[in-house]
Amino acid sequence: MIPLAGLLVGILAGLYFDVSVPLELQPYLPIAIVAALDAVFGGIRAVIEGIFNDKVFVVSFIANVLIAAFIVFLGDQLGVGSQLSTAVIVVLGIRIFTNVATIRRHIFHA
């Protein structure tokens, strides 16, 4: 319940404060979100499997977001930004799907 409340608090805070992203950071926002989603689903799966660890979660969350943004930034500098974003999304997307599938099996036993 607490993680769900956290998500709600985050959404409400975003709506309330109406933070705007600086123009230079805008291309990295979607990638950062996918990376954060990957870390969060990984963490939830770890909780369910009983091996959750605060430090691993925090480090993986921050590292995921930064590395994903950095890869896209590098791609932008090299002129292949959209291709590298696709690569990041494919890799993280596969991980998200597999982790969510495992969570689903744990919860519904199906």
Partner 1 sequence: MSLLNDLFAKPLDPGYEDAAARRRAAGERPTSERTWRSPALALGLVALGLLLTMAVLQVRNTASVVSSERQGLIEQIHNEDARVSRLQGEVSALEAEVGELESDLLQNSAAGQQTREEVESLQATTGAIAVTGPGVVVTVDDAEEQEAQDGTDRVLDLDLRMVVNGLWAAGAEAVAINGQRITPLTAIRSAQDVIQINYRPMSAPYEVSAIGDPRSLARDFGDGSGGEWLRRTATSSGVRFDVSSDESLTLPAGNTPLSYAVPGEGAP
Binding site for partner 1 (CB under 8 A): 1-15, 18-21, 26, 29-30, 32-33, 36-37, 39-40, 42-47, 49-61, 91, 94-95, 98-99, 102
Least distance to partner 1 from the beta carbon of 48, Å?
A: 9
Which residue, 26 or 86, is less far from partner 1 as judged by CB? Answer: 26
Which residue, 15 or 79, is less far from partner 1 as judged by CB? Answer: 15
Q: Tokens standing for 30?
A: 């979607």
Q: Tokens standing for 27?
A: 């291309």
Which residue, 33 or 74, is less far from partner 1 as judged by CB? Answer: 33
Q: C-alpha 95: how far from its chain's center?
A: 10
Least distance to partner 1 from the beta carbon of 97, Å?
A: 8
Least distance to partner 1 from the beta carbon of 80, Å?
A: 19
Nearest C-alpha neighbor of 48 from the set 98, 6, 94, 104: 104
Q: How far apart are CA 12 and CA 30, in angstroms?
A: 19
Which residue, 16 or 79, is less far from partner 1 as judged by CB? Answer: 16
**Cα atoms found within 13 Å of the Cα of residue 50, Cβ hemisphere only:** 1
Q: What angle do CA 86, 90, 94 make, to 5 degrees?
A: 170
Least distance to partner 1 from the beta carbon of 75, Å?
A: 18
